[in-house]
Amino acid sequence: MQNLLDFDAQQLTAWFAEHGEKPFRAKQVLRWIYKAGESDFDAMSDLAISLREKLKLTACIKTPTVMREETASDGTRKWLLDVGTGNAVETVYIPEEDRGTLCVSTQAGCALDCAFCSTGKQGFNRNLSTAEIIGQVWWANHELGKNAPSTGSGQAQGNWPVTNVVLMGMGEPLLNFDSTVSALRLMLDDNAYGLSRRRVTVSTSGVVPAMDRLRDECPVALAISLHAPNDALRNELVPINQKYPLKELMAACQRYLEKAPRDFVTFEYVMLAGVNDGVQHARELINLVHDVPCKFNLIPFNPFPQAPYQRSDMETVKRFRDVLMQADIVTTIRKVRGDDIAAACGQLAGQVQDKTKRTHRLQEASQ
Ligand code: SAH
Ligand code: SF4
């Protein structure tokens, strides 16, 4: 059975062509799936009955299975999705007054092993498929939109709760390039979710060659996990820096901005007490980024079991922000959301894995 969520518009059209169907059929089906949120071929009323029967025999529309669901006191929602072989990834929905942001995962685990990240500590398990990535958006819209009036028809304009997507869940999106880009295309496609490029953000730890590819193939808003102002410290915190050091990363940001939908990149900077949060670090950053139009987002460190770091206190974070602001760099401090359900950055799906492989390993090691 072919899962149709694995195809972007072009791939779906090609698959339909292989099955002797015209391109406009693919477009109709796309609209049913993403605009109407329909997963039942029988309900796709403007398709010929023979086509519906054919689709029922050869295809399916299948999102990952939800293992658990939680709602935080601030309205943040989290879904734990089963991706097979004892693995889980998470999707987090963050409601705000003027938008609804979905934080989407792209890999089960992550190979890059950043020192402060609980996903990294789990190691790499596997890439998610396009269906598993776009399925997170489909599922969230389906769940959150349950009380909304039904769109009724595949031609209706979907008016979904998810207005913004950030690829900041588990995994490094640019190391799962093809599936990620197909999913991005569905987020942007007018016959699917039709989100503006400015409302879709890829977050990367700095995979330089893939940043260039993204710029050429599917430019969207870009966030870089910077976390350190010099190579010595960044090599330690974000090991991929050893391969693509800061000078190359800054040059890649400049190249990206030539085609980006926004005229700045966002630098994410997790504040680790006594490690990277001093005024001298802020000054060094100002020098580092002086040729790159940017904003900074300071992230309070989210602790996890056995984490070797502590969260900087608010006074230190504000002082750091003020130094950057004095150099005319717009700097925000990220609000901690969903803290009571462990839905904050870098904490995702820690527990399931903790209870299985990682804790097991630790137990073995200590015996
Ligand atoms: N792999 C990508 C995207 C996923 S991580 C990347 O690294 O950018 C999303 C963001 O959460 C990154 O900025 C990451 O550095 C940050 N993060 C990871 N662990 C964290 C933690 N324990 N506390 C706060 N932020 C964390
Ligand atoms: Fe991977 Fe991002 Fe975590 Fe680093 S911060 S280990 S790149 S998920």
What pLDDT score does 335 carry?
A: 85
pLDDT digits (tens, 9 = 90+) for 119-151: 888 899 999 999 999 999 999 999 998 765 455
What pLDDT score does 306 carry?
A: 85
The residue to mutate among 103, 110, 238, 302, having the most atoms of ligand 2 within 8 angstroms of its beta carbon, is 110
pLDDT digits (tens, 9 = 90+) for 16-74: 999 999 999 999 999 999 999 999 999 999 999 999 999 999 999 999 999 999 999 98
Ligand 1 in contact with 309 (CB < 6 A)? no
Residue of higher predicted confidence among 345 and 291: 291
How far apart (Å, rounded) are the C-alpha atoms in residues 315 and 119? 28
Closest CA to 55 of 4, 131, 5, 17: 4
Kindly give the distance from the C-alpha atom of residue 49 to the centroid of ligand 1, in angstroms, as a whole number.
47
- Looking at 218, 253, 294, 345, which residue is catalytic? 345
Mean pLDDT, residues 286-310 taken together: 94
What pLDDT score does 148 carry?
A: 56
How far apart (Å, rounded) are the C-alpha atoms in residues 209 and 213? 7
Kindly give the distance from the C-alpha atom of residue 114 to the centroid of ligand 2, in angstroms, as a whole number.
5
How far apart (Å, rounded) are the C-alpha atoms in residues 323 and 345? 24
Mean pLDDT, residues 347-353 taken together: 52
Kindly give the distance from the C-alpha atom of residue 132 to the centroid of ligand 2, in angstroms, as a whole number.
19
Q: Is the pLDDT of residue 359 over 80?
A: no
Ligand 2 in contact with 206 (CB < 6 A)? no
Q: Is the pLDDT of residue 357 over 50?
A: no
Ligand 1 in contact with 174 (CB < 6 A)? no
Q: Which atom of ligand 1 is nearest to the CA of 303?
A: 22
Residue indicated by tokens 């969260």: 311
What the chain holds in terms of domains, given with CATH numbers, is: 2-60 (1.10.150.530), 65-366 (3.20.20.70)
pLDDT digits (tens, 9 = 90+) for 220-262: 999 999 999 999 999 999 999 999 999 999 999 999 999 999 9
What pLDDT score does 158 carry?
A: 59
What pLDDT score does 343 carry?
A: 65
Is residue 172 annotated as part of the catalytic site, yes or no?
A: no
A 10 A CB-CB count for 42 gives 12
CA angle, residues 179, 181, 212, in degrees to nearest 5: 120
End-to-end alpha-carbon separation of the chain, Å?
Answer: 46
Residue 66 CA: distances (Å) to CA of 137, 143, 280: 13, 11, 45
What pLDDT score does 348 carry?
A: 56
187 close to 193: Cβ distance less than 8 angstroms: yes
Question: Which 3-state string (H, E, C) describes 81-116?
Answer: EECCCCCEEEEEEEEECCEEEEECCCEEECCCCCCC
Burial readout 112-128 (b: 16 or more C-beta within 10 A, e: otherwise): bbbbbbbbbbbebbebb
pTM of the model: 0.92
What pLDDT score does 193 carry?
A: 97
Within 13 Å of residue 253, how many CA atoms lie on the same side as its CB?
29
What pLDDT score does 121 carry?
A: 87
Mean pLDDT, residues 352-360 taken together: 45
CA angle, residues 127, 131, 137, in degrees to nearest 5: 105
Can you give the C-alpha Rg of the chain in angstroms? 21
Q: What mean pLDDT, rounded, does the chain reach?
A: 91
Residue of higher predicted confidence among 339 and 43: 43
